[in-house]
Structure 1
């Protein structure tokens, strides 16, 4: 594969995404979402058909911007760039498919976090029974189809499941969660919040049947959190 040299502007953007993606992997460890070398974060490069993703099989303590891998939206490693001597994450094809088919997505995260993966193992959507879940995801966390790792089958399942859905998270059946966001940090936040609600609602079900939130209340909560919460005074949309 041969590619044209990157413009200075794109080189700056790539460097920023490398820094961000490398640092965000530490958040997966901090929140207990990954073990050993499993899981990955990727981030789209603004202004270019490129994304940055974690290398395969590298310990989290050994990750840094220089060994992040730059890929095209076809999932091919860009040659002669830092990290290009390594293999990219085994989920690279899935991430690439999401970026090609969901242009609004700027970040993708995959973990095997315990509670979310337990729901995925049962092939059961997480019902929207707490306000924090309505705020963050706008409804239930849906289940995506079973798919084999290594090609774009997982990516196809993610796109098919989340297209037209407010959730930024999907439970791929028998595999685990994938989350998307406007950028890599947003996708990591979704992964953290997903595991939190998956754990809480699992515990609630041990006590009895959780109470569903009415759809109109979910809509109101989601709109407030997404458009009002945290906005400076006078700037809420």
Structure 2
């Protein structure tokens, strides 16, 4: 069932390891099938490098098991809450990427000082208030905070990235970490110059409408 979506979710999870956005079994990835509404999500506490597409769990929007060999991610309820309240979101990726998480534990948003951050994330990265893991409260804090951005920080925790596809959510997570690293290093040298809103919008428009190949 949903073989292609399962492959996309697993590929994204493996790429999180490749780009060093997670360690061991940390983080999670999910994607929503537009036709059925079913969710494909990584299983809880398992080594991504040992997974096959059929190990990815399929559930419905209420969290009922549709097809699965394993328990879904411990953050499943948060993914489902976001999907229910953000119909434009078709994928969610949670990471503990190092540089972005530095700002999360400082309880500071990441200002937009680079076109990289403007492109796929959409500008300054907001900070969602602290919510305990597996409490079911992370999803609501993300929905309250993220707005039209494609990522937000989770206070004292990590990152939640979203997108209209698994690929877009992955790109948002990777670009966020790259931009967080650049901003952190720039601050160690001096004071980063922030982009004005007009330039952030221009960068977003280029990335969404010009960058890449026509299909």
**TM-score strictly above 0.5:** yes
C-alpha distance in structure 2 between counterparts of 1:23 and 1:215, whole Å: 34
Q: 1:116 aligns with which of 100, 110, 128?
A: 100
| Contact 2:151/2:172, CA 8 A, preserved across alignment | yes
Between structure 1 and structure 2, the one with the greater Rg is 1
2:168 matched to which residue of 1?
Answer: 186
User: Given the alignment of the two structures, is residue 216 of structure 1 paired with residue 198 of structure 2, yes or no?
Assistant: yes
C-alpha distance in structure 2 between counterparts of 1:88 and 1:50, whole Å: 13
* 1:231 CA displacement: 4.2
After alignment, is 101-110 or 150-159 more displaced? 150-159
Q: 2:178 aligns with which of 196, 206, 212?
A: 196
2:30 matched to which residue of 1?
Answer: 42
Q: What TM-score, normalized by structure 1, do the two folds share? A: 0.87
| Contact 1:74/1:97, CA 8 A, preserved across alignment | no
Secondary structure of 2:65's aligned partner: coil
How many aligned positions are there? 215
Output the aligned Cα RMSD.
1.4
Structure 1 residues 148-177: Cα deviation after superposition (integer angstroms, max 9, x where no partner):
1214310111111123x3x20100100100
Q: What TM-score, normalized by structure 2, do the two folds share? A: 0.95
* 1:221 CA displacement: 1.8
C-alpha distance in structure 1 between counterparts of 2:121 and 2:47, whole Å: 31
Structure 1 residues 101-137: Cα deviation after superposition (integer angstroms, max 9, x where no partner):
1111110000111011111001101011112212222
C-alpha distance in structure 1 between counterparts of 2:135 and 2:39, whole Å: 17
User: Given the alignment of the two structures, is residue 26 of structure 1 paired with residue 11 of structure 2, yes or no?
Assistant: no
* 1:75 CA displacement: 2.3
1:8 matched to which residue of 2?
Answer: none
| Contact 1:23/1:64, CA 8 A, preserved across alignment | no
| 1:81-160 mapped onto 2 (5 Å cutoff) | 81-83=67-69, 86-160=70-144
Gaps of 5+ in 2: none
User: Given the alignment of the two structures, is residue 62 of structure 1 paired with residue 46 of structure 2, yes or no?
Assistant: no
Q: 1:52 aligns with which of 26, 30, 40?
A: 40
